[in-house]
Structure 1
Amino acid sequence: MKIEERKLKISDHEFTVKGYWLDQISDFGKPVDYPVVIICPGGGFTFHSGREEEPLALRYNSFGMHAVVLEYKLIGDTPVYPMALQEMAKTIDWINQQPDSMHIDKDKIILAGFSAGAHIVAAYNGIGPNPTLRKKYQIERYKGQHAAVILGYPVIDMTMKDSFPDDDKVLHEISTDESLWKSQELLNKDSKPAFVWQTRTDDLVNVMNSLVYVEKMVQLGLPAEFHMFGSGIHGLGLATYVTKKPGKDKYLNKRASGWMDLSLTWLEMMNLLGSAY
């Protein structure tokens, strides 16, 4: 496996992506092009959670997927949006520019977002495939499309009461464009299939976030799968000892840890994983 860190640029703005690229397996006797997952970690738009970066990337690797971690724009001198959308589009474009020798199946680009990072993925699932919205958010010059999204304990509707961000100042630091506050309202007939999971007792992001997104997917007739686990805290990551914070057993959740296998089975069902074999 090859691990690389690259700096990508949009005008004078620079951001980091980390690639976890699979090697070919000589015993196969012929080259295999692997799907790739772009991971947007959580962190409340103030940091990128390491618990949702390499541990998830390596897990995806183990199931025959390349992985790229996108360290998107955080709250700062300017709002997170629309730059975060442009970073995603640029990352997809960068993947599409990779040579054939990288053996990437560019028709199988999966976006996986967690918590705040899931808001970027959820919003992009409405904007990225739609020509009108691509032009509005100045991403039409970038090439490539994603095929599906995976959302873990996602921030979807940032206006929802008793849920992140629950603070008008932070909300405007994330986006001054009100049309981006409710990512479920960005969904349209061009949006891609979605796998969504969350716990019923999430104390930071109200589980209704997941429900309103899935409801909108169903209304539009789009493929979707949703798993709500009965208990568990926010930010579980893999929900195993791999992403457990030291001394904090609340980050262990045997039932919720099944989300990864469920999502991979879903990708197989959607013909986005495993068909190369």
Structure 2
Amino acid sequence: MTIERRQFMAASVIAALGLRGSAAGAQTPPPVSSGGLPPGLPQPVETIDLWPGGAPAALARPLVETVNERSTDSLVSDRAVYGITRPRMAVFRPDRPNGAAVLLTPGGGYRWVVVDKEGYEMGRWLAARGFTAFVLFYRLPGEGWSSGPDTPLADAQRAMRLIRHRARDFALEPERVAAMGFSAGGHLCADLAARFAATVYEPVDDADRHSAKPFCAAPVYPVVSMDPAVAHAGSRQLLLGPSPSRERERAHSPDRNVPAGAPPHFLLHAEDDDVVPVENAMRLRAALKARDIPVETHLFASGGHGFGLRKAIGKPVEVWPELWRAWARGVGFG
């Protein structure tokens, strides 16, 4: 069922959710479909808009933010959001912050952002272990933004800088901000880790004085290469258009742009992934190794694509979050 709204929650609903403080209440709220929310699952009640004066770049046509609830189970949400014009972060605060934060970039093939399966579920898992999690609602590059394929990266860079700028509000150590992304969101994660210093928007305030470089990066079953031989065709077309040049493909393939100062990486992929070929992760691994960037790689024989947390249950791949956590400790993050 698809629900189109210019605002997903009225002020009375925001108040009912108990947003923390007037600053949080002034932000764009998380999306809610007409079917309501599953009982018992903590929902984010705090959001941070990325751009105080509105998102940079111009739109070719007006957009209406839309929520597509794909789940038929009343106990589980699977919302896909598109038409995002107010990019923002939904925040999951732990009861006892450990001083570290993770910026989560859900996937969706650059067609939409799957906020539950690869965002909120991981946000809850992280918050339960002391991490402050920020789920990014990023703008989609195929929806007519004048910034084109750099549109999601601009949002990801700004998100990293805002988290650091507001570190004190969340009891964070500013340098300890990691990135984790899934599928097309894995491409955005890897792109951020490769092009954190690229100028893709003009600074708007003091937050932009901070670095956008993640402390460490975890692209999970990521789209990486724009080489048509291994690329996820849908993500490639929405990011680059139908007939991109070789130069354009290269510019937006993170494996072709790894800098000497890239952060440590954790890579995860299933070899039976029939949506995004495992070669994507392997190309990124090879590029990181060539630059002597620390990288840990986990390949599972089975798991398919888009397993996140919920679809990994009962399979060998379900151990992956603890593998990430152990690796994060090893690089000084967890």
Q: Does the pair score TM above 0.5?
A: yes
2:166 pairs with one of 85, 90, 98? 98
Quick one: which amino acid aligns to residue 54 of structure 1? Y
After superposition, what is the alpha-carbon deviation per residue over 1:151-210, rounded to whole angstroms, capped at 9, x for unaligned? 110000022425412687435249964343311011011100000000000000000000
CA distance in 1, matches of 2:102, 2:52: 21
2:94 pairs with one of 14, 19, 22? 22
Greater RCO, 1 or 2 (C-alpha within 8 Å, sep 6+): 1
Instruction: Report which stretch shifted further, 202-211 or 151-160.
Output: 151-160
Question: How does 1:42-121 map onto structure 2 within 5 Å?
Answer: 42-49=107-114, 50-74=116-140, 75-78=142-145, 81-98=149-166, 100-121=168-189
CA distance in 2, matches of 1:212, 1:88: 22
Quick one: which amino acid aligns to residue 198 of structure 1? H
Quick one: which amino acid aligns to residue 286 of structure 2? E
Shift of 1:33: 4.9
Shift of 1:3: 3.8
CA distance in 1, matches of 2:268, 2:94: 27
Contact 2:289 2:295 in 1 (8 A): yes
Counterpart residue number, 1:9 = 51
Counterpart residue number, 2:330 = 269
Counterpart residue number, 2:7 = none
1:34 pairs with one of 99, 106, 122? 99
Shift of 1:138: 3.6
CA distance in 2, matches of 1:69, 1:47: 14
For residue 50 of structure 2, give the secondary structure of its aligned residue in structure 1: strand
Instruction: Report which stretch shifted further, 220-229 or 90-99.
Output: 90-99
Shift of 1:73: 1.2
Per the alignment, do residues 59 and 15 of structure 1 end up closer, same or farther by CA in structure 2, a change over 3 Å counting?
same
- The alignment covers a number of residue pairs equal to 251
Per the alignment, do residues 71 and 268 of structure 1 end up closer, same or farther by CA in structure 2, a change over 3 Å counting?
same
Per the alignment, do residues 174 and 82 of structure 1 end up closer, same or farther by CA in structure 2, a change over 3 Å counting?
farther
Shift of 1:142: 4.5
Question: How does 1:140-219 map onto structure 2 within 5 Å?
Answer: 141-144=208-211, 145-161=213-229, 163-165=231-233, 169-173=237-241, 177-219=248-290
Q: Which runs of 5+ in 1 are unaligned?
A: 25-31, 245-250
Per the alignment, do residues 127 and 167 of structure 1 end up closer, same or farther by CA in structure 2, a change over 3 Å counting?
closer
Per the alignment, do residues 169 and 96 of structure 1 end up closer, same or farther by CA in structure 2, a change over 3 Å counting?
closer
Instruction: Report which stretch shifted further, 59-68 or 205-214.
Output: 59-68
> When the two structures are superposed, what TM-score results if normalisation uses the length of structure 1?
0.82
CA distance in 1, matches of 2:52, 2:300: 39
Shift of 1:212: 0.5
Counterpart residue number, 1:27 = none
After superposition, what is the alpha-carbon deviation per residue over 1:77-109, rounded to whole angstroms, capped at 9, x for unaligned? 236521211111111121122152420121111
Counterpart residue number, 1:125 = 193
Instruction: Report which stretch shifted further, 13-22 or 62-71.
Output: 13-22
User: Among the aligned pairs, what percent are the same residue?
Assistant: 21
Contact 2:184 2:223 in 1 (8 A): yes
- Structure number having the greater strand percentage: 1
Per the alignment, do residues 167 and 87 of structure 1 end up closer, same or farther by CA in structure 2, a change over 3 Å counting?
closer
